[in-house]
Amino acid sequence: MEISDRISVIMDDIVTQRVDAIVNAANNSLLGGGGVDGAIHQAAGPELLEECRKLGGCPTGEAKITRGYNLPAKWVIHTVGPVWKGGMCDEDRMLYRAYRSSLELARQYQIRSIAFPGISIGAYGFPIERAADIAVRSVWDFLTEVNTINEVILVCYNQRAFNIYSDALKNVINNIALDQKRSNGSSK
């Protein structure tokens, strides 16, 4: 299966996704919040917060896993993206790591399908085009290394985000096609 067939961008509500795991854009406390975090806790029910309390928080760029309770997804992977502070505080690398840490945990739990929201692009203020590019690259890089995860869905909450994440995915696919063309050309 081509990597491009294992990643998709959709416009939807993440809590309704029928996948093995959904990812939560949480904060360091893991004790809930607004945005997608609030929506996931509301849909999963109070047991999710009870389990989160036992986790002792989560550093930025890392991830922790809980059950999904009332969600269609069996698991919730809670990751913490960076707060945007202008770009000089390691934000790009932290965002890349948030996606990667989530996928590493997914692999450990034999998760085959996983849905991500746009981490850090809401309350945390990360510029959306830049965040979309990092999200797609992080997922793409991971899927080149690991073949047990066969469905990664980037779930966008509105049309603008959908357009930007779709373009980011197209760009990565085009760049890879170009690189392959170049390396085929140079091997002749």
Binding site for ligand AR6 (CB under 6 A): 13-15, 25-27, 33-37, 39, 81, 117-124, 155, 157, 161
Q: Considering the complex, what minimum distance in angstroms separates the CB of residue 63 from ligand AR6?
A: 13
Residue 22: C-alpha distances to residues 73, 107, 185 (Å): 6, 13, 41
Q: Which is nearer to ligand AR6, 61 or 117 (CB)?
A: 117
Q: Considering the complex, what minimum distance in angstroms separates the CB of residue 154 from ligand AR6?
A: 10
**How would you label 119-154 residue by residue, b for 16+ Cβ within 10 Å and e otherwise?**
bbbbebebebebbbbbbbbbbbbbbeeeeebebbbb
* Contact assessment for residue 60 and residue 81, using Cβ atoms and an 8 Å cutoff: yes
Q: Considering the complex, what minimum distance in angstroms separates the CB of residue 31 from ligand AR6?
A: 8
Q: Which is nearer to ligand AR6, 34 or 87 (CB)?
A: 34
Q: Which is nearer to ligand AR6, 28 or 148 (CB)?
A: 28
Residue 105: C-alpha distances to residues 7, 66, 109, 112 (Å): 18, 11, 6, 11
Q: Which is nearer to ligand AR6, 90 or 179 (CB)?
A: 90
Structure tokens at 88: 């000089």
Question: Which of 12, 37, 90, 133 is the catalytic position?
Answer: 37
Q: Is 37 a catalytic residue?
A: yes
Q: Considering the complex, what minimum distance in angstroms separates the CB of residue 161 from ligand AR6?
A: 5
Structure tokens at 106: 């997914």
Residues involved in catalysis: 37
